[in-house]
């Protein structure tokens, strides 16, 4: 059965960085994990529509910057508009969760998936229904000064899955220790190998 670690938090709270650190900590224990995005197909569609090449590293630096090609809107604005004004009203609030589960079902081998972009209860519930609450760890990122004010996402209710709040004080060493501890003390014992 697939296992998932879902990172949830406002923009700039350290979700992507924490997912990378989590993946690295698992690799040091010879455990493979794949980072996978719920929103990537939607982002690909937005980029294709506007003819803006997608490079995660480059986009991270400019996704909140108003762009002339987007009539002064940012890429984040367009992602939100496409999701909230076009897809969800037509396909349902759980559409991206269903699409994500469909992608997981195509994977023949069991795996550990690190998801750094879950922020809607409806999509989370579809994922939890598929994986089961005991196969999910929700890591909620908290960082001073970061909130959901200009974003359509929010903190999700883990709804019975293991939940770990992580306070990111913008200290990479402290964050690395916290994530390493999350792997050793929580993920390995409670999610990957229950009963140890």
Weakest-pLDDT range from 18-22, 58-62, 136-140: 58-62
Distance CA(46)–CA(8), nearest Å, equals 22
Domain assignments of the chain as residue spans, ordered by start? 3-38+110-192, 41-91
pLDDT digits (tens, 9 = 90+) for 2-21: 899 999 999 999 999 999 99
Tracing tokens 């996978």 back to the chain, one arrives at: 36
Instruction: Say yes or no to pLDDT of 194 above 70.
Output: no
Q: Which CATH number fits domain 3-38+110-192: 3.40.50.300, 3.40.50.1370, 3.40.190.10, 3.40.50.20?
A: 3.40.50.300
Question: Exposure of 77 by Cβ count < 10 A (0-12 exposed, 13-18 middle, 19+ buried)?
Answer: middle
pLDDT value of residue 157: 96
pTM of the model: 0.89
H or E, element range at 44: helix 40-50
pLDDT value of residue 31: 86
| Residues contacting residue 10 through CB under 8 Å, at least 6 positions apart | 141, 143, 146, 147, 148, 151, 153
pLDDT classification of 196: cutoffs 50, 70, 90: very low
Instruction: Say yes or no to pLDDT of 106 above 50.
Output: yes
The proportion of the chain whose per-residue pLDDT surpasses 70, expressed as a percent, equals 98
Q: Do the strands 162-167 and 136-142 form a parallel or antiparallel pair, or are they unpaired?
A: parallel
Distance CA(94)–CA(121), nearest Å, equals 8
């Amino acid at each position: 059965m697939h296992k998932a670690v879902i990172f949830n938090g406002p923009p700039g709270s350290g979700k992507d960085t924490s997912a990378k650190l989590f993946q690295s900590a698992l690799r040091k224990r010879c455990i493979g994990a794949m980072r996978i995005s719920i929103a990537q197909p939607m982002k690909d569609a937005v980029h294709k529509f506007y003819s803006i090449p997608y490079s995660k590293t480059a986009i991270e630096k400019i996704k909140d910057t108003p762009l002339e090609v987007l009539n002064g809107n940012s890429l984040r604005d367009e992602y939100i508009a496409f999701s909230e004004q076009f897809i969800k009203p037509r396909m349902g609030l759980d559409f991206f969760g269903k699409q994500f589960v469909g992608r997981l079902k195509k994977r023949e081998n069991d795996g550990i998936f690190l998801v750094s972009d879950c922020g809607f209860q409806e999509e989370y519930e579809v994922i939890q229904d598929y994986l089961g609450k005991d196969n999910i760890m929700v890591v909620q990122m908290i960082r001073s000064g970061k909130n959901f004010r200009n974003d359509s996402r929010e903190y999700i209710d883990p709804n019975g899955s293991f939940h770990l709040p992580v306070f990111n004080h913008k200290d990479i060493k402290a964050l690395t220790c916290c994530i390493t501890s999350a792997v050793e003390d929580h993920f390995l014992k409670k999610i990957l190998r229950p009963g140890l």
